Amino acid sequence: MQTTMQKRLLKLAAVAFALSLSACGLLPDKVDETANWSAPRLYSEAKDEMNSGGYDKAIKYFEKLESRYPFGTYAQQAQMDIAYAHYRQGEQPEALAAIDRFIKLHPNHPNVDYMYYLRGLVNFNDKISIFDFLSSEDATERDPKAARDAFDAFKQVVVRFPDSTYAPDSLARMKYLVNALAQYDVHVASYYYRRGAYVAAADRAQSAIQQYRDAPAVEEALHIMVQSYEALGLPQLRDDAERVLKKTYPNSKYVGGTGTDSNKVVKAPWWKFW
């Protein structure tokens, strides 16, 4: 008797469980609160989220806006804001992809200069670039590609859109990048010199001088050339480099023996430009 009752209870429990699963399946999916929002409201809500730092939610709103209203100014503005939101999130690949997509879709857009400028900013602030000042990583192991990409993007702004609001800042950042790239090459030349690769050190220093003639790092590049030619036993080339150093930088700390060391080039931290 007891066994029969237990079997009935188990059957009832199984039926109840099955019915509960069926009922769950009949429940509607979570309601999308934005389903009936207009384009202006979607854009307004997305901007509010972005202004308050809710970049993930802002991106979702912008993407819904672009999907539901693909034509018109709201969609185009949403595409630009998606790129900016990714940039603020530190999501470099996503930001660059959104920027490139916008430029490809709207090459003649009145605000395309901003997208080139934003591309420069994304690369300029790349955390794995030579601008990660606080890193203990040897600078010779850093890839300056991000700096060059940033320079190219800012150059597009200055050359193609000289009257752009972003042109002055782009030009200032280009000058900074020239100094940074020159200092990077000088750092590499110094690295070679300290390890006894004097030919490579002289060549890299000479390359920095040729490519970045007006950069502050040229002074140290000349000094490395003097030391490298001295170490190689090439007095004529050494004297030529020293003559240029003295003429160009008469008050240089490297002139007259200052800052000279047969084992190591004495220098300020590679990232300082002042």
Stretch(es) of the chain classified as CATH 1.25.40.10:
39-106, 177-257
pLDDT of 27 reads 44
> Which positions ≥6 away from 201 have C-beta within 8 Å?
189, 190, 192, 193, 224, 227, 228
Separation of alpha carbons 35 and 2, rounded Å:
56
> Taking the domain 177-257, which CATH number applies?
1.25.40.10
Of 178, 232, 246, 181, residue with least CA distance to 202? 232
Q: What are the structure tokens assigned to 66, written together?
A: 């672009």
pLDDT of 238 reads 94
Q: Please give the average pLDDT of every successive group of 10 residues along the chain, which has 274 residues.
A: 57 58 50 82 92 93 91 92 95 96 95 97 70 47 80 96 96 92 92 96 95 91 96 94 93 69 41 35
Separation of alpha carbons 274 and 271, rounded Å:
9
The fold of the 39-106 domain, in CATH, is 1.25.40
pLDDT of 36 reads 80
pLDDT of 255 reads 83
pLDDT of 144 reads 84
pLDDT of 9 reads 56
pLDDT of 31 reads 73
pTM metric for this prediction: 0.71
User: What's the residue count for the chain?
Assistant: 274
